[in-house]
């Protein structure tokens, strides 16, 4: 995948020198199917130079030989240039195709979203008592039950103390009323 207006270089390895063997460059614009076809782009000829196919933009496509390879350069690519690019040689009696190179031209390269992370809360791990002294609070259900019972006992004691204080005060007021009559 490449962004619009960039340059693309593709190469095709030949068993013989590309100056003695013509290596043709073809493009298939859509996915292979029964009605898809290969569009002839260009080939290099040692006498004529680059021979272009019909309707090929000669300013943005160049082909040249290099050692045992044929090089295809596409400049200022656009989404219409997307497709599968093949090189091909014509032998006697067979046609030999390269593997093909998929080219996808996009205006904007896709970005990968950062995965969202679920906030994790740290939980205190309850462990069975061991002979080693534990640091921090123990979280056993028995301890928690005893703690709740202790708090309830203190609340009941506070209620009883308040009630007794009120009774004592009433008794004192009655005594004072009787004494001063």
- pLDDT for 19: 64
Confidence of residue 33 (pLDDT cuts 50, 70, 90): confident
Answer with the residue of higher pLDDT: 104 or 90. Answer: 104
| Alpha-carbon span 76 to 62, nearest angstrom | 12
- pLDDT for 177: 82
- pLDDT for 158: 95
Q: How many CB atoms lie within 10 A of CB 131?
A: 4
pTM of the entire predicted model: 0.56
Alpha-carbon distances, residue 91 vs 15, 77, 94, 141, 144 (angstroms):
12, 31, 5, 85, 88
Token pair of 48 as six digits: 């004529």
Confidence of residue 179 (pLDDT cuts 50, 70, 90): confident
In the chain, where the domains are located: 2-106, 139-181
State yes or no: pLDDT of 137 exceeds 60: no
pLDDT one-digit tens code per residue, 91-134:
777 888 888 899 999 988 777 777 777 777 777 666 665 555 55
| Alpha-carbon span 41 to 70, nearest angstrom | 13
CATH number of 2-106: 2.60.40.10
Answer with the residue of higher pLDDT: 18 or 14. Answer: 14
- pLDDT for 15: 75
- pLDDT for 138: 56
| β partners of residue 3 | 106
């Amino acid at each position: 995948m490449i962004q619009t207006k960039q340059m693309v270089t593709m190469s095709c390895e030949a068993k013989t020198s590309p100056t003695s063997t013509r290596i043709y460059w073809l493009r298939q614009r859509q996915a292979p199917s029964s009605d898809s076809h290969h569009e002839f782009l260009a080939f290099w000829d040692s006498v004529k130079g680059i021979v272009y196919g019909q309707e090929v933009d000669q300013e943005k496509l160049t082909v040249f030989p290099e050692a045992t390879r044929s090089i295809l350069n596409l400049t200022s690519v656009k989404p219409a240039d997307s497709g599968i690019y093949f090189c091909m040689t014509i032998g006697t009696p067979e046609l030999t195709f390269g593997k093909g190179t998929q080219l996808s031209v996009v205006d904007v390269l896709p970005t990968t979203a950062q995965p969202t992370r679920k906030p994790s809360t740290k939980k205190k791990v309850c462990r069975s008592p061991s002979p080693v002294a534990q640091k921090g609070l123990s979280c056993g259900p028995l301890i928690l039950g005893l703690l709740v019972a202790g708090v309830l006992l203190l609340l009941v004691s506070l209620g009883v103390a308040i009630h007794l204080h009120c009774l004592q005060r009433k008794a004192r007021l009655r005594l004072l009323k009787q004494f001063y009559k």
